[in-house]
Amino acid sequence: MGRGAIELGGRPVTEAEEMLQEAERAAREADVAIVAVGLNHDWECEGYDRDSMKLPGKSDELVERVLAANPLTVVILQSGTPVELPWVDHCQTPLQGHYGGNQFGNGIADVIFGARNPSGRLSVTYPYKYQHNRAFYNWGHEDNKTMYGEGVFLGTNTMTRLIPLKTTSSIANNPVAILSFMVQNVGNAGGRERVQIYVSRSNGIGRFPEKELRDFIKDELGAGEKKTCSVQLTMEAFAYFDTSANKWTVDAGDYKVLLGSSSRDIKVLTCSSKPRQAGWNIPSSSEEWTGNLVCAAE
């Protein structure tokens, strides 16, 4: 079934070049410029795919010319999916707002004027260009880096190094390990910070990812506030399903528990000792797994 739409309205007749020049003049005369570009339901919506990852019309040219006129420019993006950002290397402050509803403008103003840390983590990955996507038909095996992946270069606060306070273990099923650490907000605005917990297997090269996300916590911290956080890791955090044995298994070997604000920003490293048995069936008994965990800063 096809789809269609019609929209009636009126606006002054303008030339694109005149509007671009006007934007350049305004940016040149301002201390700080703000450019808002993006998409809406006319460009992306459920039920159909976008034709391109580029911003519509002359949006990219607008951003490039404003950045050239005033390097102190905040670029606000509004989209629900990734877009190409050919100008991003020249932009000091790109801000993805997604679709914030009728309070979007007030929320963005709070962020720009420092009243609030955006506290964001992107839920999608932004490539430099469409061809860098792994799903692209001729994507090669070069070491292409995504521009904005999960957890990188986001937020206005600086959260201090996670300080390990204690790590304990138990032979009981749940928890296997309890991790305690401190997080401090050393910024001037309140915000939310999340700590991600990964497990890495020393003997899993070639069979498992380098590290696997096993848990995370998210907490509110005021300006200058510090908090002690605690995470419980169960046996499932160290296990995988062995299809040949048809059971969940914890391999014998050393494990690393990695804590950080993102997968590329590991702040604390904790090494766990060898489990005494490799087999684990559900439900499991408390005798099947035990070990001592030793906490060490990276």
Three-state secondary-structure class, residue 166: strand
Region(s) of the chain under CATH 3.40.50.1700: 16-132
**pLDDT at residue 140 greater than cutoff 60:** no
- Round the CA-based radius of gyration of the chain to a whole number and report it: 24
pLDDT tens column, 111-139: 898 888 887 777 787 877 887 776 644 44
Tokens of 173: 């099923």
Give me the pLDDT at residue 47, please: 79
User: Between 203 and 255, whose confidence is greater?
Assistant: 255
Q: Tell me if 183 sits within 8 A of 195, measured CB to CB.
A: yes
Measured distance CA(248)–CA(284) in Å, rounded: 9
Give me the pLDDT at residue 75, please: 96
Specify the pTM: 0.65
User: Between 211 and 254, whose confidence is greater?
Assistant: 211
Write down the CATH number for the domain with range 163-297: 2.60.40.10
Give me the pLDDT at residue 206, please: 59
Phi, psi of 25 (to 5 degrees): -65, -45
Fold type of domain 16-132: Rossmann fold (3.40.50)
pLDDT tens column, 40-75: 888 888 877 888 899 999 999 999 999 999 999 999
Phi, psi of 60 (to 5 degrees): -65, -40
Give me the pLDDT at residue 282, please: 35
Return left, alpha or beta for 101; rule: phi > 0 is left, psi -120 to 50 is alpha, else beta.
left
- Report CA dihedral (125, 130, 134, 139) to the nearest 10 degrees: -150
Q: Residue 107: enclosing H or E segment and its boundaries?
A: helix 104-112
Measured distance CA(88)–CA(69) in Å, rounded: 15
**pLDDT at residue 272 greater than cutoff 80:** no
Give me the pLDDT at residue 3, please: 61
Peptide bond into 283 cis (omega under 30): yes
- Nearest residue to 42 (alpha-carbon basis) of 3, 94, 87: 3
Sequence-ordered strand ranges (E) for 176-265: 177-184, 191-201, 212-221, 226-233, 240-242, 247-249, 255-260
Tokens of 180: 């305690």
Give me the pLDDT at residue 175, please: 55
Output DSSP code: residue 185: B
Output DSSP code: residue 226: E
Query: Residues 227-243: what's their mean pLDDT?
Result: 83
